[in-house]
Each structure stands twice: as structure tokens, then as C-alpha cells.
Structure 1
Amino acid sequence: MDKIATWAGSDPVGVREIEQLAAGCAEVPGYELTDAWGRRDLAGALIACQTLLERSGDPVSRTVPALIGLLVAHVGRVRDCQAFADEGLSSREAAARLKRHPFYVEKLYTQARNYGPDELRGAVVRLAVLDHAVKGGSRLAVDLELERALIDITRPREAALSA
């Protein structure tokens, strides 16, 4: 606490400041990124991505492929839930099929309603392009490639439809 007080001086200290100061002390859960993507919260997705990159403790060259894997798996589960919903399955029935917690699958169902089937297929393709880019298919920095892909797959529906 003394270190925090010294750092802050006379300024107020809140949760955000504590999180910034404790950057290397705790892992950031990947669900912050996938939840923001599922809500189509572009700013939230970019912030979560940046936070994950900064706090991973690994080099960006290792973290970016892990985040791509996280996103690919998540988009795949959202697609599965969209298909289950189209078949008339409830989220609870889908949870049993997927062997996942019902709370998690309910979140997937909610996210599936935020994206059309073509958008989810497009997200899978865009993530494959990203995977190729970070494996030497691009001269851009891998974290920049990741941010560009997040923008493409997360943008609000209106922007996605006009693109």
C-alpha cells in the first residue's frame, strides 16, 4: 500500500489504477476478449487484446498465435451454438452435447444471435488469413495484424454489412 500511495501522490486511486500497477501480477482471462467480440464491442475487444499482450509474460510472437487459437475455437463454438439453435435445441441441451457449463453455453447462444451465419464463416476465414500472416505471410507486426483482424471480425453489424 505504501508503494501505491507513493505512486499516486495526492491523486485518488481506483480499481483501474490498481490493475495498471499490478500488470504482471495476475493473468488476464481470455474471456474478456471473447466476450467483447461476442458483444460486438470493438473498443472492448481491442483493449482486452492489448491487455492480454502486455500482461502475458510471453513474447508477442508466442502470445498472438495463442490468441488466434482462442478466437478460432471460440468462433467455432459460437457457430456450433448457432446451428444448435437453428435445430431448436435450448442452450441447456446444447451444453449437454458440448459437455460445457450451461452458463457458458448461454453466453455462446447470446453471441450467436449477434452474428449471422455468413459473418461467422467470414470470421473463420479472416482468422485463417491472420494465422497465415503471423506465420510469415505479412511484413506487418503480428500484433498489428491481430488488431486489424479483430476490427474486421468485431465491427458493428451496420459496418460489416456495408463492407
Structure 2
Amino acid sequence: MVTPQDMMRELDAGRVRPVYVLYGEERYLIDETARMLVERLVPPDDRDLNVAVYDLSEVPVQVAVEDWLTLPFFGQRRVVIGTHALFLTAERPPKKVEHDLDALLEALAAPPSFSTLVLTVPAAKLDERKRVVKALREAGVAVAFPPLKGAALSTWLVTRARDLGVTLTADAAEELVLRVGGELPFLVTELEKMAQYVGPGGTITTDVVQNLAPRTLEQDVFALVDRICRVDTAAAYRMLRDLWLQQEEPVRILALLARQFRLILQVKTLSAKGYGSQQIAQRLRVHPFAVKKAAEQGRRFAEETLLAILDALAEADYRMKAGGVDKELAVEAFVARLAQWVQRGAREGGNEP
């Protein structure tokens, strides 16, 4: 499988393929790579006349092929981009377009040296059974863009920060993904905002991310548990008061607390069985940073204590839904009980060495 890095090394060495097929689920990187190819292959003054983009969910591929075979106009190279080339997959396109694949096959048999065709495919894989896919691979190169996850995503963010002229620490990269999620467009937007905040040559730390990144209720509850595990009960109650002022629903907060403690128990159990953090993240389908924090929080509790906490959460949930109890007070009572569990563990030297 050809990677984006392989393609960049070829371009740096001066090798330009007549055809590039960019496929995968990471659409942001596909679009960015298509733009990069235009920037590398066609000078700015030539782009109005020698760059064309066709949406192949609307336009037949033969139109793009005809343009691809046309000599550059007052320039050295022409780039033709065809987006949404789903006819290269096993998927059924939402709209019927009469693509003349024979015209594409004929052009691929003797591709022009003066023009580059770029086809983008928003799908996990190509249909390798199709003649046209085989012909495209023979004439050019197919580059895969699988979703960035875990360490690969954090590394990509650190590199992007360097391109912006700032430093992003590894912990800050993990915190950013935890707060914003794994969608690259949102991550890049937040990263650019933080780069402006710290200025050229500055460093984006975990504190910067926590201060500037948008917060969700899930993240607030995660932070609430973290404060309690650090025996910072006063800060935990301040966070609860803020949540009440934001009119957050106590039942939902309790549900998120239960989800976090289930994760802590799962991580603790799997770690005891010898699983590494990356294996646990893949098995539970969560970000490695969430596994790391859950492992840290889990050191405060014995397994039987975590089971008791989950029982207490289930009991509080039942009482709240049955009525006759102040829901906010019920959550605060649980937090007080949880703080006692943590403080007891701290006095005993922790539940784990």
C-alpha cells in the first residue's frame, strides 16, 4: 500500500505520476493532498487556465478525461481533479451518472506526460476486481488515507503545530483530541486558534488546551472525577455548581459518571490481564489518552470499591427516576460519598502501589 509519505518522497525526488487516486475515510487529508498536488505541479499564475475540478457524482468521467488529454494553455503542466469517483468502489452512487469507463481505460493505456489526473474517492477501499482500478494502479498510483487514530493522530497534530511555527506537547495533543474529538477539520481549527494565542515560537501546553478548547458535558464530568481522584473535593463541588448554573440535567451527569467508572473498571481489569494501553484502547474503542487517564484514576480504587461505586450509581439513578428526591442533591451526595472512598484510600496509602 502506498502511503502519503511515499507519495511525498516521490514528488521531492522529482517523480510526477500521470494519475493519482486518493482514497480513504480521512477526507480532510484527501482534499488537502489534492490541493498540495496543484500547488506543487502548477505555478500560481497558471492555475486559472490549467487547473480544473469536476464533481464526478454529477459530471461523467469522460468530460474530465477529455480535459486531462488537453495540452496546457501557456503552461508546463495541467492538473485535472475528479472528486467523488465512487465508480471505483463497490458502492452504489446515490445518483446515476453515465460514466464512459472505456474512454478512461483508453487514456490510461497511453497517459499524457504534460497533464496529471487526480481522482478522489471518499471510501475505505477500491474495488480491486474492476478493470479500471487495475489500469489506474498500472498507469499511476493509488494512495490510501485511513482514519488517523491514537498515536498516529497525536503525531500528526504535533507535526501540524510545527508547520504553524509552534510546539505542541505530546500531552497537549492527547488532551486536544480528548476535548475536540478525532475529526481533523475541528482539530485544525482549534490548533490554529491556539497557535495564534501562544504566538510564533510558543508552546501549546495542556493548560492552554484546557483553557481554550471548547468543553462538553462529557469532558466536564471527566474533569470532575479527576478532581475527586486528586482529593480536591472543593474544586469538584465548584464544578458541580457551575453545571447546575448551566442547567445541566442531573440524570445525565449521573449517567456520565457511571460511564467513566465503568471505563475505569474495564481498564483496571484488562491491565491486570496483561493488556497494554494501545490494546485496551482498540478493544474498548476509546482514545489511548482516555485509557491512560482511566488507569491513573483506577489506582485510587480496589476492584471491589469500583463495583461498589457502580452499585451506588445505579441506586442513585433508580431513586432519581422514581421521584421524591432532589436530583441535584442526589448527585452531590454521591460525590461526597465518592470523595470519602478516595480519601480512605489515600489514608491507607492508596489501593495500589
What is the TM-score of this pair, normalised by structure 1? 0.70
Deviations 1:78-100 (A, max 9, x none): 00001011101122221121121
Instruction: Report Cα offsets for 1:22-73 as digits up to 9, x if no partner.
Output: xxxx7664222232234343222222222112114x5xxxx10000110011
Matched, 1:153 2:338: yes
1:95-131 alpha-carbon deviations (Å, 9 max, x no partner)? 1211211111100111111111111111111111111
Distance in 2 separating the partners of 1:154 and 1:97: 30
Aligned-pair CA distance for 1:148: 0.6
In terms of fraction of residues, the more strand-rich structure is 2
The structure 1 residue matched to 2:327, chosen from 142, 149, 158, is 142
- Cα distance change, pair 126–160 in 1 and its aligned pair in 2 (3 A): farther
Partner of 1:129: 315
Q: Which runs of 5+ in 2 are unaligned?
A: 1-210, 349-353
State the alpha-carbon separation in 2 of the partners of residues 38 and 90 from structure 1.
22
**Shift of residue 153, structure 1, vs aligned partner:** 1.7
Distance 2:296 2:345 in 1: 20
Over the matched positions of the two proteins, sequence identity in percent amounts to: 23
Cα separation, 2, equivalents of 1:32 and 1:52: 12
> CA 1:108 to 1:159, structure 2 compared with 1: closer, same or farther past 3 Å?
closer
1:36–1:132 Cα change, 3 Å: same
Inter-CA distance 159–105: structure 2 relative to 1 (3 Å threshold): closer
Q: Higher relative contact order by CA 8 Å / sep ≥ 6: 1 or 2?
A: 1
Taking structure 2 as the reference length, the TM-score comes to 0.34
Structure 1 residues 159 and 84, CA, compared in 2 at 3 Å: closer, same or farther?
closer
CA distance in 2, matches of 1:74, 1:66: 12
Give the AA of the match of 2:253: L
Q: 1:88 to 1:40 in 2, by over 3 A?
A: farther
How many pairs align? 132
Moved more, 66-75 or 139-148: 139-148
Written as runs of structure 1 = structure 2, the 5 A alignment for 1:22-101 is 29-30=219-220, 31-56=222-247, 58=248, 63-101=249-287
Q: 1:114 aligned to 279, 285, 300, which one?
A: 300
Q: Is the 8 A contact 1:126 1:153 kept in 2?
A: no
Other structure's SS at 2:301 match: coil
Cα contact 2:301–2:345 (8 A) shared by 1: no
Bigger Rg, which one: 2
CA distance in 1, matches of 2:320, 2:329: 10
Q: Counterpart of 1:111 in 2: which secondary structure?
A: helix
Per the TM alignment, residue 157 of structure 1 is displaced from its structure 2 partner at its CA by: 3.7
Structure 1 segments, 4+ long, off by >6 Å, are 159-162
Give, in angstroms, the shift of residue 136 of structure 1: 3.0
